[in-house]
Amino acid sequence: MIEEKSLYKTAKDLNVAQIDSSNTVFHRSPVNNVRLGKLNIRGKTAKTPLFMPVATRGTVRALTPSQLKEIGFEMILSNTYHLHERPGEEVIDKLGGLHKFMNWDGLILTDSGGYQVFSLSSHRKITDEGVFFRSVLDGKEIYLTPEKVLHIQKKLNTNIAIFLDECPEYPCNARREEESLIRTLKFAERSIKVERNPGQLFFGVVQGGMNFKLRQECAQALLSLGVDGLAIGGLSMGEDSSLTREVLAATLEVIPEDKPRYLMGAGSDILTYIKMGIDMFDSVFPTRLARHASAFLYNGERINISNKRFKEDASPLDEGCDCYACRNFSRAYIRHLFLCDEILGKTLLSIHNLTVLFKTVNALNS
């Protein structure tokens, strides 16, 4: 499909120092064949499979870092585009990097802004050079290039930096799938050459729409560039979940066992994807739904705690849960908080939903 084989330059061709692969260790569980692993980065460790709570602007909404640690999280995700926009990477750098700025001593992965290329598509223009955004905050022009997003992530001093990519809309035609893939790979070639902080890992983003072959070519091209891990983007865009699984399976076929695989933005069907071989997840779902009164149960159901049937319900959100919310508060109380629009309601449900996700994933990796 891709004519220009010159895209497939290797790390060797590009004269790039590769990261020591001892950063990441994976094996298959003898019990259930699930991939179990450890990300070891700059003396910090996170067990995989793992779910990353989303701290878009340097805070997981409605929660303190202490509350996140109490749940057990070892790694969170933040966003390069949004932090560049406000407060700016220079400010964060002066204050000692993102870990210190937000008081998070676990690992941090930063998304590149590639997703904003998609989600803010009415506010941006993309070329082979980079992406122009019109800030929705103040109309200011923001110009991101593959190099610049990595410079920003260097200043943020996060543990895993993601390359700038182009995520095509879904559905789109074959030409768009290929065009965005070629651009993603051109961006990746420039990205791999950028200087990084010691021990910072570089992940490329696999695009290629719903075309299995393009997906595989993209993954192989990124691997040949010497990326430390692969982020799989452009899925869960509204396509049938069976198609998501098929595209994912085809992609995973070409990724060696020693490379971490991060499925971007998947907030549901996580156990299925873990069994398929995915190590890392992130999603705003658990916290966003929490702020809208929706509580996760361990059986996979969700309840809206504002419902009148919980008015006098003395039981916790989920009987089997030992999170701070379930140890100390009834459904009736949390309902009351939501009816009164009290912040504590959002905090308690966020703690609970993240706990459900954490424990569900953690049951496999411990």
Among 94, 140, 213, 309, binds a second copy (CB under 8 A): 94
Lookup: tokens for 158: 């996060």
Beta strands in the chain (DSSP E): 24-28, 35-41, 44-48, 50-52, 75-79, 107-111, 124-126, 131-134, 141-144, 160-162, 201-206, 229-232, 261-263, 280-282, 294-296, 302-304
Shortest Å distance, C-beta 338 to a second copy: 11
Three-class secondary structure of residue 165 per DSSP: coil
State which of positions 312-351 bind a second copy (CB under 8 A).
312, 314, 324, 328-330, 332-333, 335-337, 339-340, 342-344, 346-348
- For a second copy, the closer CB: 347 or 353: 347
- For a second copy, the closer CB: 38 or 82: 82
Shortest Å distance, C-beta 346 to a second copy: 7
Shortest Å distance, C-beta 98 to a second copy: 10
* Cis peptide bond N-terminal to 171, omega within 30: yes
Q: Within 202-253, where are the H helices?
A: 212-225, 241-253
Q: Find, among 185, 183, 170, the residue nearest to 218 by Cα.
A: 185
Gap between the terminal Cα atoms of the chain: 42
As a whole number of angstroms, the distance between CA 65 and CA 100 comes to 11
- For a second copy, the closer CB: 90 or 257: 90
Shortest Å distance, C-beta 103 to a second copy: 4
Longest dimension (CA), the chain: 68
Q: Which of 165, 228, 279, 282 is flagged as catalytic?
A: 282
Q: Which of 111, 165, 279, 318 is flagged as catalytic?
A: 111
Cα Rg of the chain, angstroms: 21
Q: Is residue 219 a contact partner of residue 206, using CB atoms and an 8 Å limit?
A: yes
Lookup: tokens for 28: 């298959």
- For a second copy, the closer CB: 237 or 344: 344
Q: Is residue 17 a contact partner of residue 201, using CB atoms and an 8 Å limit?
A: no
What x/- string results for residues 48 through 77 when contact with a second copy is judged by CB under 8 A?
Answer: ---------xxx-xxxxxx-----------
State which of positions 190-219 bind a second copy (CB under 8 A).
none
- For a second copy, the closer CB: 64 or 119: 64
- For a second copy, the closer CB: 63 or 181: 63
Any contact of residue 21 with a second copy (CB under 8 A)? Answer: no
- For a second copy, the closer CB: 23 or 153: 153
Q: Find, among 224, 237, 242, the residue nearest to 188 by Cα.
A: 224
Give the binding range for a second copy (CB under 8 A) out of 91-99, 159-167, 169-177, 228-236. Answer: 91-99
What x/- string results for residues 100 through 129 when contact with a second copy is judged by CB under 8 A?
Answer: -xxx--------------------------
Among 91, 174, 243, 249, binds a second copy (CB under 8 A): 91
Lookup: tokens for 271: 């156990």
As a whole number of angstroms, the distance between CA 202 and CA 210 comes to 24
Is residue 111 part of the annotated active site? The answer reads yes
Among 20, 69, 96, 320, binds a second copy (CB under 8 A): 96
Give the binding range for a second copy (CB under 8 A) out of 17-25, 71-79, 88-96, 235-243. Answer: 88-96
Burial of 278 (0-12, 13-18, 19+ CB in 10 A): buried
Please report, as ranges, the residues that interact with a second copy according to CB under 8 A.
57-59, 61-66, 86-87, 91, 94-96, 101-103, 311-312, 314, 324, 328-330, 332-333, 335-337, 339-340, 342-344, 346-348
Which residues belong to the active site?
A: 111, 282
